[in-house]
Amino acid sequence: MSETSPRLRAELDGIPTYRPGKPAASGGPVAYKLSSNENPYPPLPGVMESVTEAAGSFNRYPDMACTGLMSELSERFGVPQSHLATGTGSVGVAQQLLQATSGPGDEVIYAWRSFEAYPIITQISGATSVQVPLTQGEVHDLDAMADAITDRTRLIFVCNPNNPTGTVVRRAELERFLDRVPSDVLVVLDEAYREFIRDVQVPDGVELYRERPNVCVLRTFSKAYGLAGLRVGFAIAHEPVAAALRKTAVPFGVSQLAQVAAVASLRAEDELLGRVGSLVCERTRVVDALRGQGWTVPETQANFVWLRLGERTVDFAAACEQAGVVVRPFPGEGVRVTIGESEANDILVKVAESFRSKL
Ligand SMILES: *Cc1c(COP(=O)(O)O)cnc(C)c1O
């Protein structure tokens, strides 16, 4: 009898594996992880306290409706609860959006290079990725993205600011683009780094969503709010879309610890946004230093910087690691470096200087 393995969907063949940022080496003298765009600050004491307290009941399932968090978010953003949906990180919510909109024969448009989860979750859905190259300036080419829309297009991701380049699209160009998108195509504004934006010309997706039923905004607690390990994100969208998200949610996906931490973080927002402010100052310092050394650094509005190193990408990443900082290389393209602790940022600037002097 011949042995056969369980039949798996053909769509899974050749899916690129998600590459998590490399952890910081243990055992070395110093090692900083600047590879996953995490928040370098430890949890706030108050947030820790609520999580510790909630940990006492993890024999119970979480509140499936995320009642406390939903009402907090509803108030914070001025949107009805029926327009909100939570999920296991905003990546989890993005995957639900694909489940809800796209399947074999459908097309999903996004810029490239952009967030590496997009091709993975698109391929899992069975839909076809339509990748539209960034401009020379590493920015979304919204005209080309609009030109790429066909009868098969179901969903378009706009990552603003874009991961891994940090670049943004501004109000006028984004509105012009949205005007060109048919009303039956969902536009997902992925705003994972929203709180790090200082450019006033960048629109708040939540304002755009209000007037446009085909716009969905994705936000996360992973970056500015420092809850990456707890997995909680959310979407703001009009009713049919938000309802579809609730249907596609994994039951009890968002743990009670995550719910409690998210509520506590919203209540401690001033303090958390103060930390974001310090990171933004560090970002300016790093970008200025790198530019001063002669590097071309695209304008970043996120908590990371992008260096297009091409063939030298892997060497640069190795030099960083040797010096004690782990960065995120995209071989053949460039390196993304998270803005972290000042000491870590100092190391990066130093490595960049010595690397440049050897070019
Ligand atoms: C980090 C990130 C997310 C958020 O991921 P979570 O699943 O919420 O941790 C979403 N989109 C982009 C572009 C990101 O960089």
Q: Specify whether the CB–CB gap between 157 and 288 falls below 8 A.
A: no
Distance 89 CA to ligand 1 centre (A): 7
Reference 304, options 346, 337, 266, 257; nearest CA is: 337
Q: Specify whether the CB–CB gap between 190 and 115 falls below 8 A.
A: yes
Q: Specify whether the CB–CB gap between 145 and 111 falls below 8 A.
A: yes
For residue 226, what is the enclosing H or E element?
none
Distance 47 CA to ligand 1 centre (A): 21
Residue 88 CA, closest ligand 1 atom number? 7
Q: Would you state the pLDDT for residue 26?
A: 67
SS3 337: strand
The segments of the chain whose pLDDT lies below 70 read: 1-2, 25-30
Q: Would you state the pLDDT for residue 172?
A: 98
Query: Of how many residues is the chain composed?
Result: 359
The region that residue 231 occupies, defined by phi over 0 for left and psi between -120 and 50 for alpha, beta otherwise, is left
Q: Is the dihedral of CA 292, 294, 300, 306 positive or negative?
A: negative
**Closest residue to atom 11 of ligand 1, CA basis:** 192
Q: Would you state the pLDDT for residue 221?
A: 98
Distance 353 CA to ligand 1 centre (A): 30
Q: How far apart are CA 197 and CA 140, in angstroms?
A: 16
Residue 228 CA, closest ligand 1 atom number? 9
Q: How far apart are CA 308 and CA 297, in angstroms?
A: 8
Burial class (CB in 10 A: 0-12, 13-18, 19+), 32: buried
**Closest residue to atom 1 of ligand 1, CA basis:** 192
Pocket, ligand 1, Cβ cutoff 6 A: 37, 89-91, 115, 159, 163, 190, 192, 220, 222-223, 228, 233
Reference 177, options 200, 197, 205; nearest CA is: 205
Q: Would you state the pLDDT for residue 39?
A: 98
3-state helix, strand, coil in the chain (%, to 5): 45, 15, 40
Q: Would you state the pLDDT for residue 27?
A: 63
Residue 233 CA, closest ligand 1 atom number? 8
Mutation choice for ligand 1 from 19, 86, 220, CB with most ligand atoms inside 8 A: 220
Residue 162 CA, closest ligand 1 atom number? 13
Distance 226 CA to ligand 1 centre (A): 12
Distance 355 CA to ligand 1 centre (A): 30
Mutation choice for ligand 1 from 88, 96, 163, CB with most ligand atoms inside 8 A: 163
Residue 231 CA, closest ligand 1 atom number? 9
Residue 222 CA, closest ligand 1 atom number? 9
